Structure 1
């Protein structure tokens, strides 16, 4: 068995630390392909590097430069010609938008005038043809403004309303648990009606028997008009009796639970004098006594 000379070993040489990145290392060390480098060196050796030396080459280069300058000049001229046209078309479009907006505002004003006239005629008809109960009919239908003592209930969102959600009230489609919902205001209004309120308004919006309290996103709508918190509910009636009856009702306890559980801010105060406006629009319906058909048979 042969022996190895001293100082020599059969173990393979150690691998380079960057052996797994040979391709990346090669690209970094040789940023220019060897073929390109050889071609550049050959042209330099032959005297063909740098600017063209022959007259034909110089003329070709000059022609290319002139052509490029001509293209740039034509583009700039075209841009200068079309710029005023585009600006004019843009201004015409803005003018059309302004004109249509003014026309829409005019039509909306006319609609409001007609709506006010119709509401005025409806109120007058209720007052004239209500018989002995004309005043009561006008009051209950919201046809006239109301003045007198009553109760004021203010409901507002919690101070530290969390916009992140995650609470048990999030299932209703709202983003947090400290916001006042449309159903909350529905229960407040229904509780006041049940407690003996004669007329109710929310943020100056008079309620009638046909009023609707709904939600659109996070906004509360009363008869399709959006309201913003705090929600101030005014109820005309005997203030002390209203307050006692409302606090003892299921809806009053519900409002207290909102305050205790979700930090919704509430305030109930008896008012000596309240002023509620007439309903902005009325829907007048008439009814006639039902007459049963005569089913009797004549006798001979």
Structure 2
């Protein structure tokens, strides 16, 4: 038995799909065009202008209220900011005063120690040993000729594909590992004392980066970073120029625009490092 086309059951075409295939113009556009042809419109020109004016007035009202509230809050915000800055300055002054008192007391203790130990040969030998250990611990301030290495952040971020590896907040900067490499190379080149900015490098001092701040012994140091080293200027400079740190910073200077300079110094003054409390100690060679 043969089946005709009328006997074949076909899937019904959804009305929405049929409308999309057959109606290429939205009925609303067609109705609007028909109304314009017949001279009818949904709203007069005056009504539209009235609504535009009303909307503009409402927007202006909202903006004026927001501006007034911002102006009213400004004095209070400025007052809070002034109070916070005042507290910060007071704390900084207090810290500076306490640091001065500590230095004065340290000098008094050292003088009393010298007077007590210089009376006999045993005390003198012990005093010489203490001074030698204090020199190794970078406790005492030192003065002499040497070398300065200056690293400076560039004025703007360089346009390089890998600049994100050497940036903080979208700006290329000197990294903590740069300063670490310079300091270690100066020690290896024969430096007797090293300082970054006004912070002396001692046995327990660290150079690290926290966000956009460079911390040396947990004290902020800002660009330009001046690394000062006391030692024989000629051999010190020769050793540093031949070091890996010099090659590293020369490449960084060319690639990222970071400032890098080396100069001899006839007279450097380096402060003493911070004295830390000794909690545990033992004689060398004992268990």
TM range (shorter): 0.5 to 0.7
1:26 corresponds to: 31
Structure 1 residue runs without a partner (length 5+): 1-17, 34-82, 294-300
- Among 94, 117, 126, the alignment partner of 1:110 is 94
1:73 corresponds to: none
- Please identify, of 196-205 and 137-146, the stretch whose mean Cα deviation from structure 2 is larger: 137-146
Task: Report if aligned partners of 1:201, 1:235 keep a CA contact under 8 Å in 2.
Answer: yes
- Among 248, 266, 273, the alignment partner of 1:272 is 266
1:285 corresponds to: 278
1:206 aligns with 2:200: yes
Greater C-alpha Rg: 1
Q: Deviations over 1:93-129 (max 9, x none)?
A: 8767755664564345334433443355456656747
1:151 is displaced (CA, Å) by 0.7
- Please identify, of 247-256 and 265-274, the stretch whose mean Cα deviation from structure 2 is larger: 247-256
1:132 is displaced (CA, Å) by 0.5
Q: Distance in 2 between matches of 1:219 and 1:150?
A: 27
Q: Distance in 1 between matches of 2:157 and 2:259?
A: 11
- Among 184, 190, 194, the alignment partner of 2:178 is 184
RMSD: 4.1
1:55 corresponds to: none
What SS does structure 2 have at the residue aligned with 1:180? coil
Q: Distance in 2 between matches of 1:204 and 1:219?
A: 16
- Among 125, 140, 143, the alignment partner of 1:144 is 140
1:153 corresponds to: 149
1:215 is displaced (CA, Å) by 1.1
1:223 corresponds to: 217
Task: Report if aligned partners of 1:213, 1:220 keep a CA contact under 8 Å in 2.
Answer: yes
Return the TM-score normalized by structure 1: 0.57
- Among 243, 246, 252, the alignment partner of 1:249 is 243
Structure 2 residue runs without a partner (length 5+): 1-22, 44-67, 115-125
1:183 is displaced (CA, Å) by 0.4
Q: Distance in 2 between matches of 1:101 and 1:269?
A: 38
1:51 corresponds to: none
1:200 is displaced (CA, Å) by 1.4
Q: Distance in 2 between matches of 1:21 and 1:223?
A: 73
1:236 corresponds to: 230
Task: Report if aligned partners of 1:126, 1:138 keep a CA contact under 8 Å in 2.
Answer: no
Q: Distance in 1 between matches of 2:260 and 2:106?
A: 36
Q: Deviations over 1:126-154 (max 9, x none)?
A: 67477204444444433332211001112
- Please identify, of 265-274 and 108-117, the stretch whose mean Cα deviation from structure 2 is larger: 108-117
What SS does structure 2 have at the residue aligned with 1:243? helix
1:225 is displaced (CA, Å) by 2.9
Return the TM-score normalized by structure 2: 0.60
Task: Report if aligned partners of 1:123, 1:138 keep a CA contact under 8 Å in 2.
Answer: no
Q: Distance in 2 between matches of 1:177 and 1:32?
A: 57
1:240 is displaced (CA, Å) by 0.6
Q: Distance in 1 between matches of 2:202 and 2:214?
A: 17
What SS does structure 1 have at the residue aligned with 2:25? helix
What SS does structure 2 have at the residue aligned with 1:20? coil
Task: Report if aligned partners of 2:156, 2:171 keep a CA contact under 8 Å in 1.
Answer: no
1:170 corresponds to: 164
Task: Report if aligned partners of 1:119, 1:282 keep a CA contact under 8 Å in 2.
Answer: no
Aligned length: 222
